Amino acid sequence: MKKKKRHLHILRIIEKENVQTQHDMLRELKKVDIDVSQSTLSKDLKELGIIKVRGKESRFRFVQTKERDTYHVGIMLKRELNDFLRETTAVGNLVLLKTIPGNASGVSKFLDEIGWPEIVGTLASVDTVLAVTKSEKDANNVIKKIDEVIHMV
């Protein structure tokens, strides 16, 4: 089997299945008549930028690097919000977030990195983050997303 086709199947499996080990991946590949060695699979995963991360319930799963980065930022944003956020308020197209003193810059950083399209940018002081959005509707959506992140399992 050509490498390109094998890579395509690996990516499909990662999207659709909760594959936790290379052994599991080899088994899934066999289901679509792809028989490769563990060392070849290992090389394929490296070439595709696929790594293992700890997911829900401390189980590992394979993800592509870009997804891993977004997943990591989401986890860090959840921690920052749970640990330091005291209050959120929408004022027109702005979202004001009050934090425990000294922690606004961390919250601001992860709000910028999460890549929500509603947020144009953020500014932080010692205990306040100002998230700028394009509209009042976007500001309200950001508050809803923040609430979802805080309560996400």
Region of 102 on the Ramachandran plot (φ > 0 left; ψ -120 to 50 alpha; else beta): left
DSSP classification of residue 134: S
Taking the C-alpha atoms of residue 55 and residue 122, their distance in angstroms, rounded to an integer, is 29
Query: Is residue 59 predicted with pLDDT exceeding 60?
Result: yes
Over residues 19-38, the pLDDT tens digits come to 889 999 999 999 999 999 99
Task: Dump pLDDT digits (tens) for 34-50.
Answer: 999 999 999 888 888 78
Please state whether 58 falls in left (phi above 0), alpha (psi between -120 and 50) or beta: left
pLDDT at 152: 73
pLDDT at residue 147 greater than cutoff 90: yes
Which residue type is seen at 151?
H
